[in-house]
Amino acid sequence: MLSALKNDSMRDQLLLVDDNATNLDTLLATLGDRYDLRVAVDGKTAINLIDDGYLPDLILLDVMMPEMDGYEVCRHLKAKKETCDIPVIFLSALDSNNDEAKGLELGAVDYITKPFFPAIVCQRINTHLELKHHRDKLQNLVVDKTDQLTTAYNDLKKVHDQMVQQEKMASLGQLAAGVAHEINNPAGFVSSNIVSLEKYVGRLSEWALFVEQILPSVDNPEIVSLLQEKKRTLKLDYILEDVKDLISESKDGIERIAAIVRNMKSFCRAEGDTFKSLNVHDCLDSALSIAHNEIKYKATVKREYAELPPIHVLPQQLGQVFVNLLVNAAQAIEQQGTITVRTTHENEWAVVKICDTGSGITPEHLQRLFEPFFTTKEVGRGTGLGLSICADIIQKHQGTITVDSTVGEGTCFTIKLPLVERREG
């Protein structure tokens, strides 16, 4: 038989377990005004009540009961994580030292012999409830402090790893700047030589044309025939035409090298925390140039640029975001696909979308995409910090970055950056 005698959530809850009605009546009369009480008349009923989710603050437990005695009930309670910390006080007519020792060994906090004096029972209950509340408070404090320390440690680890990543980027930037400088010098020689070569070839072409024009006036047919045959043998007409194309292609190639060097220098330049007014399309074009080698074998790039006013940005850091997203897009495409870079103007925002037709991202991974150290790439291909750093950089720009993805169709990152007017307003 179970009964709920009080329902005041502010009071401690006690479970009385005894098969003697007289003892229960005494306890109910003594404790009813102080505590929220429930009773069970045997051990199995008490176990069923607790297994159903009732967790009292303290249990008064008789030892000698039919089917399941108090010792067995206590043993059951102490074996479960949910109930092992509930204080148990035995109330028993068994008054030998061995009986008391057995109860305490099983985990009871106290052992009171019958017949009991109600005032003593009240005082024992009050003492053990106070001890329990202090223990619970300490445990909660430990849990809170542990959570705070764990959060602080994770934050510190995140900052540390981001600093390491930034140091790597700085070292890489210095290396890239040095490489760009080393490339720039010989590229300058080649560019200058191509200009000179173009002039020399032009003069040779003029000479060949002059010779061609005066040949009919030469009186020696044998010499004329010999010169014309040599011209055909050497394919001078073809060479003079082809060399123009070769010089044009070489000039285009050296200009591309110069553009890459300029972009590398711009990407690696230390900029501090100073925002600069910039056309976001220039930043995107620079990032596309830097990521070109990663993209060219995987995807066709489509630029869909809208008219945008300048925005205040940290050019190097924003370029890092664009490069990261473009490289990720290329790596998501297994064979051949398309990367679309689109810009739009939405109210007070400049919107940049970088979309790919790659493999897509599963919903469970999508939710964790911007978490530090989370990566879906193979070991060695990613640290899991790239997108986390991207999110931090965009937040520094007072912007937002979101992602939409469908498995098998592709992924689209959307970056919103406040326009110059918004930042200055």
Q: What is the pLDDT of residues 278-300, one digit of tens each?
A: 899 999 998 898 888 888 888 99
Q: In terms of pTM, does the model score above 0.85?
A: no
* pLDDT band, residue 389 (cuts 50/70/90): confident
Torsion over CA: 184, 185, 191, 192 (sign): positive
Q: State mean pLDDT over 173-199.
A: 77
Reply yes or no on whether the pLDDT at 111 is more than 80: yes
Reply yes or no on whether the pLDDT at 374 is more than 80: no
C-alpha triplet 136, 117, 109: angle, nearest 5°: 30
Q: State mean pLDDT over 207-215.
A: 85
Task: State which of 146-160, 171-185, 256-270 shows the largest mean pLDDT.
Answer: 146-160
Reply yes or no on whether the pLDDT at 380 is more than 50: no
Helices (H), 269-375: 280-290, 292-295, 315-332, 363-366
Q: State mean pLDDT over 211-220.
A: 83
Compute how many other C-beta atoms are within 10 angstroms of the C-beta atom of residue 326. 25
* pLDDT band, residue 302 (cuts 50/70/90): very high
pLDDT at 190: 86
Pair 354, 287: CB distance under 8 Å:
no
Q: State mean pLDDT over 314-336.
A: 88
Compute how many other C-beta atoms are within 10 angstroms of the C-beta atom of residue 198. 15
Q: Helices 70-78 and 43-51, interaxial angle, to 10°? A: 20
Output the CA torsion 213→216→219→224 (10° steps). Answer: 80
pLDDT at 253: 85
pLDDT at 220: 84
pLDDT at 6: 40
Long-range contacts of residues 90-99, Cβ cutoff 8 Å, at least 24 apart: 90/61, 90/62, 90/63, 91/18, 91/23, 91/60, 91/61, 91/62, 91/63, 91/116, 91/121, 92/62, 92/63, 92/64, 93/63, 93/64, 94/63, 94/64, 99/63
Q: What is the pLDDT of residues 112-133, one digit of tens each?
A: 998 888 899 999 999 999 999 9
pLDDT at 337: 93
Pair 32, 6: CB distance under 8 Å:
yes
C-alpha triplet 108, 40, 15: angle, nearest 5°: 50
pLDDT at 271: 52
